[in-house]
Chain A
Amino acid sequence: MKYILLMSATKAGVDGYDAWSKKDVAAHMTVLRGITNQLTESGEFVATQGLAQPGEAKVVRGEKNGLPITDGIFPESKEFLLGYWIVDVANLERAYAIAGRISSAPGPGGVPTNMPIEVRQFATSVQPDGQ
């Protein structure tokens, strides 16, 4: 079963992350890369991506003539997706266990961030042409 593990934060949280020391960011990234490597070895890894900063985010709507209208103003409360992992695992509990490991990746001073990770199953029934 495929699940997506979503790591999100508000803009305030992202600003906090920008203030982390280089060493803390490096330690955080090392743990996340280690998790990706282990998932690759166990055959559970599908994909992972990090997204660019909220400052580069735009919301697009279609206008009546089909042209895009863009807006870059978001409410303070908005959660921005920071990155995600797609895993293909035997059961839901395994998806939770992986999310727990991501949540415990080290933050400032090596203390686990304990960030909430949203776990969602893929709606496989509406997949177009096997994409």
Chain B
Amino acid sequence: MKYMLMMNTMRTGRGVPEWPKKDLQAHIAFMIALNQELHERGELVSAEGLSFPDQARLVRAGKDGTPMTDGVFPESKEFLAGFWIIDVESPERAYVIGARISAAPGPGGSPLNIPIEVRPVMSGPPPEMLQ
């Protein structure tokens, strides 16, 4: 079963770029080691980090189909910071991996314990929905 693990952040709050370099390096080393372990177990499908919210845009189609962009987001908006797609035996295994990511080290090496959203990935639309 495929699951997507999402790490969300708010625009405000403790900004990762302001962490001491040593703490950032420890955090990234943790993520690299975890991804390597998941890869060796055959559970990692993909993992990506996204650029910071200031580069995010919302796009809507205008009447003639041209894209209209907007970069103004409500303060309460959660931004996707990064995600993992894993292929695991059970939801419990997905939750265990989610907890490991949640406990990645933050400033001073303390576990961040940030919430990780875990969602099943659909294999495709049901056949009756296809023309």
Taking each of A68, A96, A119, which has the highest tally of chain B beta carbons within 10 Å of its own beta carbon?
A68
Closest to A51 in B: B119
Quick check: is A127 within 8 A (CB to CB) of the other chain?
A: yes
* Contact yes or no, A126 B59, CB < 8 A: no
* Contact yes or no, A96 B47, CB < 8 A: no
> For chain A, which range describes its interface: under 10, 10 to 19, 20 to 34, or 35 or more residues?
35 or more
* Contact yes or no, A104 B129, CB < 8 A: no
* Contact yes or no, B48 A4, CB < 8 A: yes
Point out the residues of chain A lying under 8 angstroms from B68, CB to CB.
100
Quick check: is A40 within 8 A (CB to CB) of the other chain?
A: no
> How many residues on B have C-beta within 8 angstroms of the other chain's C-beta atoms?
64
- Cβ-defined partner of A68 (8 Å) among B39, B59, B95: B95
* Contact yes or no, B65 A104, CB < 8 A: yes
Quick check: is A69 within 8 A (CB to CB) of the other chain?
A: yes
Point out the residues of chain A lying under 8 angstroms from B114, CB to CB.
61
Point out the residues of chain A lying under 8 angstroms from B56, CB to CB.
118-120
Interface string of B78-114 (1 = CB under 8 A from A): 1010100100000100011011111100000001011
Closest to A4 in B: B50
Please give the residue numbers on chain B whose beta carbons come within 8 Å of chain A beta carbons, in ascending order. Answer: 2, 4-6, 28, 31-32, 35-36, 39, 44, 46-52, 55-62, 65-70, 76-78, 80, 82, 85, 91, 95-96, 98-103, 111, 113-122, 124-125, 128-131
Please give the residue numbers on chain A whose beta carbons come within 8 Å of chain B beta carbons, in ascending order. Answer: 4-6, 22, 25-27, 29-30, 33, 47, 49-52, 56-63, 66-70, 77-81, 86, 96-97, 99-101, 103-104, 112, 114-123, 126-129, 131
Chosen A-B contacts, 13 in total, with CB atoms closer than 8 Å, are A25-B129, A30-B130, A50-B121, A50-B125, A51-B119, A51-B120, A57-B119, A61-B114, A62-B100, A119-B59, A128-B32, A128-B47, A131-B35
Given contacts A30-B130, A60-B95, A120-B80, 14 further A-B contacts (CB under 8 A): A25-B125, A58-B91, A68-B99, A69-B99, A81-B4, A96-B59, A96-B67, A97-B67, A100-B59, A100-B68, A101-B61, A119-B58, A123-B50, A123-B52
